[in-house]
């Protein structure tokens, strides 16, 4: 049995679907109740309270772990005691490129590597699904606002992250590896807005925010150091953050999906 934390999120929902289709027994973990595919066991638990995971982990062989809560060691202890042998951590590219800012994922990576379990770390670049933040203004007035409109980053499709996670959870040969997951090419915010407009069949106007406007908006839902780190990546990415990683293709045997592909599949959310 495989336990998927974050099972109702952009990545987790897709991962649960893939695992169920592959015939795996799946336990889905999230804090809130949710509709899940038939046959999936849903356990409400909070990663911030490792003991709450015990009923979910009982009898599990593998764990897909999200960075949440402050006690990765506690989570891994509960997992090991329950018999989990393999853990796949969804971390962030920033844990590698800016560990002083991305301390939270970096601490989870350290704990996983020291856990004694068979581990694999997936360092995801920015997710294409971050563009859902535009859904309200695109629906209402066909506009999308962001800073640094002409700086490209190779954001990744959450469905590709999920497919890689499923492969790594189910197949041997990935123990002790850290993979970086990106899309196939850098795409700028302006190009992302354009791609969504194309998918809708109606243009979306891109509005360039000043960094100060973007900072004020991000501070509403992110801690200050993460806001600064994110703005630095968006505005002045390091070469390592603009590079396209070969890892999705290496693991899946096909190129990562494009942003345009993601926009075409998710267009109803912007209508």
Ligand X SMILES: NC(=O)c1ccc[n+]([C@@H]2O[C@H](COP(=O)([O-])OP(=O)(O)OC[C@H]3O[C@@H](n4cnc5c(N)ncnc54)[C@H](OP(=O)(O)O)[C@@H]3O)[C@@H](O)[C@H]2O)c1
Closer Cβ to ligand X, 46 or 249, answer by number: 46
237 binds ligand X (CB under 6 A): no
Closer Cβ to ligand X, 9 or 256, answer by number: 9
CB 36 within 8 A of CB 58: no
Candidates 5-13, 72-80, 144-152, 197-205; binding stretch for ligand X (CB under 6 A): 5-13
Question: Could you tell me the smallest distance in angstroms from the CB atom of residue 253 to ligand X?
Answer: 23
Residue 26 CB contacts under 8 Å (≥ 6 apart), including other chains: 1, 2, 3, 4, 16, 19, 20, 39, 40, 41
Residue 181 CB contacts under 8 Å (≥ 6 apart), including other chains: 122, 123, 124, 125, 156, 160, 161, 164, 245, 247, 248, 256
129 binds ligand X (CB under 6 A): yes
Site residues (CB under 6 A) for ligand X, limited to 49-68: 66-68
Distance CA 151, CA 190 (A): 9
Question: Could you tell me the smallest distance in angstroms from the CB atom of residue 17 to ligand X?
Answer: 13
Tokens of 258: 């494009």
Closer Cβ to ligand X, 71 or 249, answer by number: 71
Q: Which helix (H) or strand (E) holds 208?
A: strand 205-208
Distance CA 79, CA 173 (A): 21
Closer Cβ to ligand X, 47 or 138, answer by number: 47
69 binds ligand X (CB under 6 A): yes
Which x/- pattern over 85-124 shows residues binding ligand X (rule: CB under 6 A)?
Answer: -----x-x-------------------------------x
Among 25, 73, 130, 258, binds ligand X (CB under 6 A): 130
Name residue, tokens 């499709």. Answer: 157
Interface residue list for ligand X (CB under 6 A): 5-12, 29-32, 46-48, 66-69, 90, 92, 124, 126-127, 129-130, 158
């Amino acid at each position: 049995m495989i336990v998927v934390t974050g099972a109702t999120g952009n990545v987790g929902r897709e991962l649960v679907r893939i695992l169920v289709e592959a015939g795996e027994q799946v336990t889905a973990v999230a804090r809130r109740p949710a509709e899940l595919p038939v046959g999936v066991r849903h356990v409400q638990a909070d990663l911030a309270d490792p003991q709450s995971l015990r009923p979910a982990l009982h009898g599990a062989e593998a764990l897909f772990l999200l960075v949440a809560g402050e006690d990765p060691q506690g989570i891994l202890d509960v997992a090991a005691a329950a018999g989990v042998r393999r853990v796949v951590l969804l971390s962030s590219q920033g844990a590698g490129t800016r560990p002083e800012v991305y301390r939270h994922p970096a601490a989870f990576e350290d704990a996983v590597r020291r856990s004694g379990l068979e581990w694999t770390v997936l360092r995801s670049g920015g997710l294409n699904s971050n563009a859902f933040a535009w859904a309200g203004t695109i629906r209402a007035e066909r506009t999308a606002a962001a800073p640094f409109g002409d700086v490209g980053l190779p954001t990744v499709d959450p469905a590709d992250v999920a497919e890689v996670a499923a492969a790594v959870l189910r197949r041997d040969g990935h123990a002790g590896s850290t993979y970086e997951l990106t899309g196939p090419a850098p795409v700028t915010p302006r190009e992302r807005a354009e791609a969504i407009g194309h998918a809708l069949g109606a243009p979306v106007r891109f509005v360039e925010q000043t960094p100060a406007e973007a900072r004020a908006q991000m501070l509403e839902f992110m801690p200050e150091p993460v806001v600064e780190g994110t703005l630095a990546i968006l505005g002045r990415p390091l070469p390592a953050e603009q590079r396209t990683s070969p890892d999705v293709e290496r693991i899946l045997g096909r190129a990562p999906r494009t942003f345009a592909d993601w926009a075409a599949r998710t267009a109803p959310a912007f209508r």
